[in-house]
Structure formats: structure tokens, C-alpha cells
Copies of this chain bind each other. A is one copy, B any other.
Amino acid sequence: MFKVKIYINLKEGVADPQGATIKHALDSIGYQKIGKVKTGKYLQLELDMHDKNKAREQIEDMCQKILVNPVIENYEYQIEEIK
């Protein structure tokens, strides 16, 4: 059994209005030192598999086919065995 954490980000250059809004909100309540803010998605899922290489293959397949929009998003993941 694996626990998988997937981090999905907008690619460099893709407009991120949610990030801009958060930056503006932080600035406006007095946090002065904020640079760029980027928003993304964070998924955690459990995979009931035993072979780590197969698990990696399946994760990449799921990301490329359904979880991530490869035109505008990048992804990274961490995989951790749980008992």
C-alpha cells in the first residue's frame, strides 16, 4: 500500500489570477514582503499496490491522462510505503 502526494502547479507564464488575488489580499492587510504567489493543487491518494515501480507507472499514467492538464500544468509526486 502506498500513500502518494501529488503537487500540481501552473507552468511558468500561465496566468494565475488566484495567486494574484492572494498576493493582493496579503499586501492589503499589511504583509509587505511578499513576492510572487503561485497557487496549485495538492492531491493525496492511497494506492493498494505492492510494487513501487508499477505504482509509479500508474501514477504517471493517471497524471498524464486525467489529473493534470499538460498544456498549462506541471506535476511532481512523492510516494511512500505505508503498512
Contact = CB atoms under 8 A, between A and B. Distances in A.
Interface in A1-39: 1, 7-9, 19, 22-23, 25-26, 29, 31, 33-39
Could you say how many copies of this chain the assembly holds? 2
Contact of A43 (B8, B38, B44, B46): B38
A62 interface: yes
Interface size classification for chain A: 20 to 34
A79 interface: no
B58 A33 contact: yes
A40 interface: yes
Contacts of A33: 47-49, 58
Contact of A40 (B9, B42, B47, B67): B42
